Structure 1
Amino acid sequence: MYNDIILIKWGENMTEIARFYNDFQPTHYDIYIDVNRETKKIKGTTKITGVAKSTDIAIHQKDLNINLVEVSGKPREFVLDTASDALRLTVEKPGEVEVKIGYETKLTDSMMGIYPSYYEIDGVQKQIIGTQFETNFARQAFPCVDEPEAKATFSLALKYDEKQGETTLANMPENHVENGVHYFDTTVRMSTYLVAFAFGDLQAKYTETKSGVKIGVFATKAHKAKELDFGLDIAKRSIEFYEDFYETPYPLPHSWQLALPDFSAGAMENWGLVTYREVYLTLDPDNTSLDMKQLVATVIAHELAHQWFGDLVTMKWWDDLWLNESFANMMEYVAIDALEPEWGIWETFQATENPAALQRDATDGVQSVHVQVKNPAEIDALFDGAIVYAKGARMLVMVRSLIGDNALRAGLKNYFKEHQYANATGSDLWQALGEASGMDILAIVNSWLEQPGYPVVSAKLVNDELILSQQQFFIGEGNDIGRIWQIPLSSNYPEIPAIMSEKEIKISNFASLKSRNKAPLQINVGNNAHFIVKYDQTLLSDILENANEYDAITQLQILQDLKLLAEGNIVSYETIVPLLTKFADSKYVLVNKALYGIVGNLRKFVTPKSEEEKNLRRLYNKLSFAQLERLGWVQKSEESVDDQLTRPYVVNAAIYGDNKMAIKQAHDLFNASENQIANLPADVRAVILKNEVVNYGDTKLFDKLLQAHRQSSDGSFKSDICVALTSSQETAFLKVLVDKFEDANIIKPQDLRAWFAGVLSNSVGEQLAWDWIRNDWQWLEDTVGGDMEFTTFITVIARVLRTTTRLTEFKTFFEPKLEVPGLTREIKMDVKVIESRVKLISEQKDSVNHAIKKVLD
């Protein structure tokens, strides 16, 4: 009698998601967990108090050996339904019921559930235990109704093979310790995926907010104590900022931030115990690049934004995942802009979130921001960063710009008050913001949230009439079904309508409009809305005439839109190449990042080690030469934030451009480091190391860097080494790296994607990496297949492959996996990505290389 279960044809007859909460609604959990690190075994007892809505109920469990089930103190028969991760049983009658379940299980090595993190101190391997329960991995730790809507309170009792001086952490403060068992205060009402705990030999630093919230940062003792300071400061000030901005107090006694040596995602917003990859929480304040500090700050602010938006008020079901992530993605920038205004963090949003969303969202078959979830395997596949995070955040930035901060804050305050300790849907948010602003927000955002993709707005002049039209933009083949968006045009001409809700708009007497406005026509001023613009040649020439006099965002937008139009084969890269020199001397990091992004895209049109590639290198040198002389390699006192952030792009371009002076300068800096390579200037360290490997590398250097990577606890330094080593031009060295892919003592599974991507994108290593992933796919799936970012290994491949041979190989390998739930969408999209690249190269290769040569003449 499980009427809500429908069997559907989905791969291996997967079961459509049954919502257990409909039949059993827990109100409180008493959880006892005993972990033995030596044997990797867990013993547990969970007592669930709740309300049965039916006599037949189900409780989630996965890979638990159940040895006891009692209902109201009496043993009860049960059935394990492994296909649905369910323990099924009957109760005598609907109403309040108490279910007690005893079980045994194991620590996982998948970075999901309860798992060990490994690290070394003085060559001795150690471990700490942590948890990761999002999306649906709490069921691997204790029996529960593992759904966001199934909120309850939790009392945790934790025992482990404790050694003197170890630290034990959880969502709530520790209440007392008795007979080796750590008891914690009962939580507030919350979802299972936010439950968290950890223990091990940790160091900590503490502070307190103005309102009395205790803030702590925890890390292994492999880190220097000073590496905790930055995160502690950002966490404290973020909590204070959000309490003020949301006008809603932080609802827990403490906010712990924990750096885990092994962590599948970037960070996780567990309520009161936020967990992070080490690289996103700990940093050396004396030698970390500004862009890395910005990244760490925004990650911390993102997770702490969730403490209200996601934790206090939680999405009702996973189809509204964007409600959590898009909002936190926007708020991280709102917060850091307030905390560190000199950083100009919104420019980072423009330079990172915007292009990621625009590129991904242009492939036919991409998911919409709000997407239905019909199958358990689809849940983890929802975490498409470019859509759920970046595009969703762009939607909210658009809404913020329309309603203003006062209405945003008032709406959020009411939203939190109405739904605190409960669940909400997207419509609940739009209603709250609509009431606060007096606007029909849903009518504006609905077309952006429910439809995949975005439009290109074409602007053309016909007999003094301006014609604006919208059409879905695709990179590669796309099925245009006539989608229409509510587009905020945001033109610098006030006569242009604020919202374009139809297919086409015609505006007469353009010459008169231009005379009145005395400026070239621009659309999407500020680049806040999620679309691109194709101007006809007359309008574009008008804009480009004084292009380098515009503000940074306008210049970025010119380059961004032209690049996307070229990728979509609507314009030719041939027409963009001559424009690049116009922007080469810009002092805006936004412009330089966009510029070198385009120049980097030109690499696909040249064959490695050919005359064409030599010309491209000469173009790199031409574009970067003056900037290298202006900026140099070492930061100057009082230089601007833009200069600090621009320098890495310039020096990297100069090295690729075979600038002999730059190559020698980098080599001299390396030699001057006196083997203290971690102390090289962090903003250019990756480029210096890469130059050394590519131009001066030998076995001694290779071994030295690999050893430094293994011994260091500095995440950004380890990342720099990865960049350098995977750039080697020696096949033998790259083969050694590929052979280390499956050695977790050298390359942690959490870092594997970066190493794989580095070797694959290196023309010398492409075959090695491509062969490895096809030969060892099963190992990869067994090792990180439960990771919500597993599909991005396929995304990485699709970013690199560019020939008809590789396209055929990709199809041959991945198309048999089309029926694997969670992989289907990614494989279909990435076939189109590679097909479009192959076609683009075929059609534009000759003209692009001719244009490069012409610029150099």
Structure 2
Amino acid sequence: MAKGFYISKNMGLAGLLMGAVAGVVIIALAAVYDKEKTKNQNKPVDGVTTVSPTTSSTLSTPKNPWEYYRLPDSLSPVSYNITLWPRLVVNASTGLYIFTGQSDVVFRCEKETDLILIHCNKLNLTLLSGHRVRLTGLDGATAPNVISSWLQVKTEYLVIQLKGKLAAGKSYRLSTDFQGELADDLKGFYRSEYTEDGVKNHVSDAGTFARKAFPCFDEPAMKAVFPVTLIHQRGTVALSNGRDTVNTTIDGAEVTKTRFEPTKRMSTYLLAFIVSDFAHITGSIENNNVLVRIWARRKAIAEGHGYYALNVTGPMLQFYEGYYNASYPLSKSDQIALPDFSAGAMENWGLITYRETALLYDPASSSVGNKETVLTVVAHELAHMWFGNLVTLRWWNDLWLNEGFASYVEYLGADYAEPTWNIKELIILYEVHKVFAVDALASSHPLSRKEEEVNRPDEISEMFNTISYSKVLYGSPCSRPSPTARFYMVLHSYLNEFAFNNTVYSDLWDHLQKAVLTTPGMSLPHTVHDIMNRWILQMGFPVVTIDTATGHITQKHFLLDPDSVVDRPSPYNYTWMVPIKWMKGGVEREQHWLLQETDRHVPMTTAGSEWVLANLNVSGYYRVNYDTDNWERLINQLTADHTVIPLINRAQIVDDAFNLARAKVINTTLALRTTRYLSQERDYIPWESAIRNLNYYILMFDRGQVYGMLQVGSSYNMIYQTFTVAEVLSFSHILQVYNQINAISFACRMGVERCRVLTSVWFREWMIHPNLKTTVYCNAIAAGGVEEWDFAWTMFKNATVATEAAKLRSALACTKVPWLLNRYLDYSLDPAKIRKQDCTSTISYIAHNVVGMPLAWDFIRARWSYIYTEYGGGSFSFSNLINGVTRRFSTEFELKQLKQFKEDNAGVGFGSGTLALEQAMEKTAANIKWVAENQEQVMNWFSNECT
């Protein structure tokens, strides 16, 4: 699944300076109960009774099988024969867009039973009267008669009670005919509208929520084969997971029937059905008969916006074939850019679906950041074709097994396609530092949770978070740098053994352990299971403290708020087996394993000006603290010659210091002093690390008197003096470009007058380099008024390139005029103005603005029930919305408001934002204490720096 909330990874161009890591999140298998429509839940629907969620199914202890969210293990699907017919015109009798369909599912009875449970969401699928269910025995089996059937709303089942029992070991066919609404809710089989050249067009897409498209056993372990047929209007094209084999007309009607080759054995969440009038460009994998196509709106294809994705897809697929030592398992690889899509991208097997911003690149108007986004999202989704699709997690509690590995491997695939970008270095910023921020909370969770902890749709949605995506392969035998040839063999044996089946995390440890035992000269202090389970089965990570005077090393569970209470028990008492790569005085030394809480007499003592640096190249998942003298020696080395310290570790030193200061481990002034050397720093990664951490100070103080001192502080002004605008337009290396964009963006944000004047002039003359558009648009709109805002709104509505529209949509939130921000908030809930996929991110953009934050907070509190029901409480964007609106909270009053918000909306719910709300309260409480304890220190330090 996509890196799930997928936003641009260009930190300079996509709100990088705000320090927020958001994204669009990937699609969970389970659909979410739509509360808006429960008013009809007790009425018969075309002869099928529905059971209200207010019945016994709401009891805390379920009594009947259909009251559980997990399917029983009595039945297993073999194949589905599915026919779907979407009507992309309004139905005259219902006034709705509808689809009809027919499904035959062949299943095997594993345990004798008189009950069939199969997922079916009534809100978008209605069984037709007279054709409710038809059960047929196969291969001599006799099918018992159906006593009754109904739709269980809360757990989303079609429940079928039988007069007799299904026989274990026998196979049966369940046939259903159905009708559903092609709504615009971005779930199930849904409708998307777009206008091109003045003509309104429709797309139907069913890339997620399979149970809303047809009755199915909708769990990842319930793999089956899917022969698919789509009936569609003449002049449109139908796509699905397999290659199309037959196109015919039906009885002379103006429709086409397209049949597709049966899929490989796969999970329901990987299915996709699309009908559109899109065009495509074609390529292939060299020496392999695999068809590669990029699909998009006709105008986008005609203008060449799909070529970059096409050009990198072939090399990436070839790289992954070598990396996994396994051929691409399908006959084609379609990738399609959709005008409306709830996630950033989705790894549907053979038909990967994307937002337009994640697949299309326009060289004339898109930035290098947009190009990197396409590169990395495509790399992530193609990595899933093996790890996730060919071999799939058994249940969502092990989601990291899919997503974490894909997040890691995407850097390898992207690096292969663009070897000059040094993109593997960015993993420290995009993954490690990002997940540290979340995993340092007491409300974090282990990578792998117990199955019983992840059952309901909102619980599944919550698993699609930073922990699952970014906390992986660190502090273990699998850690960076890139794995050895032996690791490639491990992946091959793992994929080969479990191909077209499901696994749990321990299966991968088994294969790694075999590699350790069979590799000459390779040894570990404990088994792979012992080492890795400490990182997988307990949340958080350690801070390793090194005393260079005594050689003692200790570890402790790192908490951003040391006063917070950790309620979740740990099977290992929050200790880890930590591999410590280190250097002394610039020379790398032999790796040391910290296996318990304290290790004494380690050879890390120093003499004179000699310094120790641990976690070399950030190969382990932990923070590092030192004695005061060693901190001083490291700072002195940075000042004297920072290049002696590896690039990634320069970023690590800054990030560790600032976060250790926030956790009261070291002094805030010490953390600030790590930034002094930056006037000599020309590399992007250390600068970006510093800017993100300084951004926390801005968020905490930009509503008070300290902010004035921050604006004139030399640490901020020097970033603008380090680079020039001319350099931004001349550098070709992507990380150099990011660094210069950071310089200009941050200078504008901190009030450098000549920067603001320059961006306003460019905006008025509409002469803006693509790499500077995000900065120019935002700052010009912030400095302007109604005229600038209305002009940008017009340009946004007329934009035909998705990346251009995204930049303008973000920039519109930068205005300092409150009534314009309130108008924009109202626009966010109007699908005619802001697409549903962009609603929550638009509100978050407004909240990033210091003027807009209280307006956005008031807005979502007043409309939470509507937002939750209309935009789907199970949407992965809800956690980002809560995080985005509350990121500045740092007062007792705001904490009380958060608690009241939770209480007031307990009956509505928070869906996938439930954990985010708890974390927002925890972070707000920590912010309150940090501001009270550090405000004076920060003001004094910046005051001294400016004199």
> TM-score, normalization: structure 1?
0.92
Alignment of 1:302-317 (within 5 A): 302-317=380-395
The match for 1:86 is 157
Quote the sequence identity (%). 24
Does the residue aligned with 2:837 lie in a helix, a strand or coil?
Answer: helix
The match for 1:158 is 230
Alignment size in residue pairs: 834
**Among residues 597, 607, 623, which one is paired with 1:503 in the alignment?**
597
For the residues of structure 1 that align with 2:859 and 2:919, how far apart are their CA atoms? 22
The match for 1:851 is 941
The match for 2:134 is 70
For the residues of structure 2 that align with 1:815 and 1:238, how far apart are their CA atoms? 49
Does the residue aligned with 2:398 lie in a helix, a strand or coil?
Answer: helix
Distance verdict in 2 for CA 1:612–1:507, change over 3 Å: same
Question: What is the CA distance between 1:285 and its match in structure 2?
Answer: 2.4
Distance verdict in 2 for CA 1:709–1:199, change over 3 Å: same
Asked whether the 8 Å contact 1:72–1:98 carries over to 2, the reply is yes
**Among residues 803, 811, 816, which one is paired with 1:716 in the alignment?**
803
For the residues of structure 2 that align with 1:597 and 1:286, how far apart are their CA atoms? 30
Name the amino acid aligned to 1:126.
N
Asked whether the 8 Å contact 1:710–1:745 carries over to 2, the reply is no
Asked whether the 8 Å contact 1:45–1:101 carries over to 2, the reply is yes
The match for 2:666 is 571
For the residues of structure 1 that align with 2:807 and 2:912, how far apart are their CA atoms? 32
The match for 1:826 is 916
Question: What is the CA distance between 1:823 and its match in structure 2?
Answer: 4.6
The match for 1:520 is 611
For the residues of structure 2 that align with 1:586 and 1:315, how far apart are their CA atoms? 44
- Post-superposition Cα deviations, 1:152-191, rounded to whole Å, max 9, x if no partner, equal 111111113x142x22111001111231321111111111
For the residues of structure 1 that align with 2:604 and 2:749, how far apart are their CA atoms? 46
The match for 1:797 is 885
Name the amino acid aligned to 1:151.
K
Question: What is the CA distance between 1:142 and its match in structure 2?
Answer: 0.4
Asked whether the 8 Å contact 2:192–2:339 carries over to 1, the reply is yes
Does residue 896 of structure 2 align to residue 808 of structure 1? yes
For the residues of structure 2 that align with 1:792 and 1:13, how far apart are their CA atoms? 36
Distance verdict in 2 for CA 1:718–1:203, change over 3 Å: same
Asked whether the 8 Å contact 1:619–1:657 carries over to 2, the reply is no
Question: What is the CA distance between 1:381 and its match in structure 2?
Answer: 3.0
The match for 2:34 is none
Q: Which runs of 5+ in 1 are unaligned?
A: 675-679
Question: What is the CA distance between 1:382 and its match in structure 2?
Answer: 3.4
Name the amino acid aligned to 2:488.
R
- Post-superposition Cα deviations, 1:743-776, rounded to whole Å, max 9, x if no partner, equal 1122122222322122112221222111110011
Q: Which moved more, 1:605-614 or 1:765-774?
A: 605-614
Alignment of 1:461-480 (within 5 A): 461=548, 464-476=549-561, 477-479=563-565
Question: What is the CA distance between 1:222 and its match in structure 2?
Answer: 4.4
Does the residue aligned with 1:475 lie in a helix, a strand or coil?
Answer: coil
Name the amino acid aligned to 1:471.
K
Distance verdict in 2 for CA 1:642–1:508, change over 3 Å: closer
The match for 2:528 is 441
**Among residues 175, 187, 190, which one is paired with 2:245 in the alignment?**
175
Distance verdict in 2 for CA 1:519–1:169, change over 3 Å: farther
Higher relative contact order (CA 8 A, sep 6+): 2
Question: What is the CA distance between 1:21 and its match in structure 2?
Answer: 5.6
For the residues of structure 1 that align with 2:428 and 2:65, how far apart are their CA atoms? 41
Name the amino acid aligned to 2:565.
N
Name the amino acid aligned to 2:921.
V
**Among residues 457, 467, 474, which one is paired with 1:377 in the alignment?**
457
Alignment of 1:23-172 (within 5 A): 23-38=74-89, 39=91, 40-53=97-110, 54-55=112-113, 56-63=115-122, 64-67=125-128, 68-72=132-136, 76=146, 77-89=148-160, 90=162, 92-94=165-167, 95-133=170-208, 137-160=209-232, 162-164=233-235, 166-172=236-242
Distance verdict in 2 for CA 1:514–1:170, change over 3 Å: farther
Distance verdict in 2 for CA 1:810–1:786, change over 3 Å: same
Name the amino acid aligned to 2:86.
V
Asked whether the 8 Å contact 2:415–2:423 carries over to 1, the reply is yes
Distance verdict in 2 for CA 1:279–1:403, change over 3 Å: closer
- Post-superposition Cα deviations, 1:242-273, rounded to whole Å, max 9, x if no partner, equal 11211111111100001111111111000000
Asked whether the 8 Å contact 1:585–1:626 carries over to 2, the reply is no
Q: Which moved more, 1:184-193 or 1:92-101?
A: 92-101
Name the amino acid aligned to 1:167.
V
Asked whether the 8 Å contact 2:554–2:599 carries over to 1, the reply is yes
For the residues of structure 2 that align with 1:640 and 1:836, how far apart are their CA atoms? 39
- Post-superposition Cα deviations, 1:508-532, rounded to whole Å, max 9, x if no partner, equal 6755x658xx841111111121110
Q: Which runs of 5+ in 2 are unaligned?
A: 1-55, 92-96, 138-142, 251-255, 518-523
The match for 1:534 is 625
Question: What is the CA distance between 1:15 and its match in structure 2?
Answer: 7.8
Name the amino acid aligned to 1:65.
T
Distance verdict in 2 for CA 1:228–1:553, change over 3 Å: same
Question: What is the CA distance between 1:684 and its match in structure 2?
Answer: 1.3
For the residues of structure 2 that align with 1:10 and 1:525, how far apart are their CA atoms? 51
Question: What is the CA distance between 1:10 and its match in structure 2?
Answer: 8.2
The match for 1:677 is none
Distance verdict in 2 for CA 1:560–1:28, change over 3 Å: same
For the residues of structure 2 that align with 1:774 and 1:813, how far apart are their CA atoms? 7
Asked whether the 8 Å contact 2:657–2:670 carries over to 1, the reply is no
For the residues of structure 1 that align with 2:61 and 2:358, how far apart are their CA atoms? 37
Name the amino acid aligned to 2:348.
N
The match for 1:660 is 753
Asked whether the 8 Å contact 1:407–1:433 carries over to 2, the reply is no
Asked whether the 8 Å contact 1:587–1:642 carries over to 2, the reply is no
Name the amino acid aligned to 1:97.
Y
For the residues of structure 1 that align with 2:222 and 2:461, how far apart are their CA atoms? 22
For the residues of structure 1 that align with 2:437 and 2:597, how far apart are their CA atoms? 23
Does the residue aligned with 1:284 lie in a helix, a strand or coil?
Answer: coil
Distance verdict in 2 for CA 1:605–1:36, change over 3 Å: closer
Asked whether the 8 Å contact 1:693–1:728 carries over to 2, the reply is yes
Distance verdict in 2 for CA 1:509–1:349, change over 3 Å: closer
Distance verdict in 2 for CA 1:794–1:760, change over 3 Å: same
Question: What is the CA distance between 1:316 and its match in structure 2?
Answer: 1.1
Question: What is the CA distance between 1:593 and its match in structure 2?
Answer: 0.6
The match for 2:851 is 764
Name the amino acid aligned to 1:105.
G
Name the amino acid aligned to 2:293.
G
Distance verdict in 2 for CA 1:672–1:422, change over 3 Å: same
Question: What is the CA distance between 1:25 and its match in structure 2?
Answer: 0.8
> TM-score, normalization: structure 2?
0.84
Does the residue aligned with 2:180 lie in a helix, a strand or coil?
Answer: strand
**Among residues 588, 592, 596, which one is paired with 2:691 in the alignment?**
596
For the residues of structure 1 that align with 2:72 and 2:690, how far apart are their CA atoms? 52
Question: What is the CA distance between 1:731 and its match in structure 2?
Answer: 1.2
Distance verdict in 2 for CA 1:504–1:403, change over 3 Å: farther
Does the residue aligned with 1:159 lie in a helix, a strand or coil?
Answer: strand
Alignment of 1:300-339 (within 5 A): 300-339=378-417
CA RMSD of aligned residues (A): 2.6
Asked whether the 8 Å contact 2:553–2:602 carries over to 1, the reply is no
Name the amino acid aligned to 1:20.
L
- Post-superposition Cα deviations, 1:776-816, rounded to whole Å, max 9, x if no partner, equal 11121112223133232222233222222111111101245
The match for 2:11 is none
Does the residue aligned with 2:530 lie in a helix, a strand or coil?
Answer: helix
Question: What is the CA distance between 1:582 and its match in structure 2?
Answer: 1.2
**Among residues 690, 693, 697, which one is paired with 2:781 in the alignment?**
693
Does the residue aligned with 1:635 lie in a helix, a strand or coil?
Answer: helix
Name the amino acid aligned to 1:28.
S
Asked whether the 8 Å contact 1:21–1:150 carries over to 2, the reply is no
Question: What is the CA distance between 1:400 and its match in structure 2?
Answer: 4.4
The match for 2:742 is 649
Distance verdict in 2 for CA 1:849–1:219, change over 3 Å: same
For the residues of structure 1 that align with 2:712 and 2:63, how far apart are their CA atoms? 50
For the residues of structure 2 that align with 1:828 and 1:816, how far apart are their CA atoms? 15
The match for 2:576 is 485
Question: What is the CA distance between 1:311 and its match in structure 2?
Answer: 0.8
For the residues of structure 2 that align with 1:58 and 1:455, how far apart are their CA atoms? 45
Name the amino acid aligned to 1:219.
A
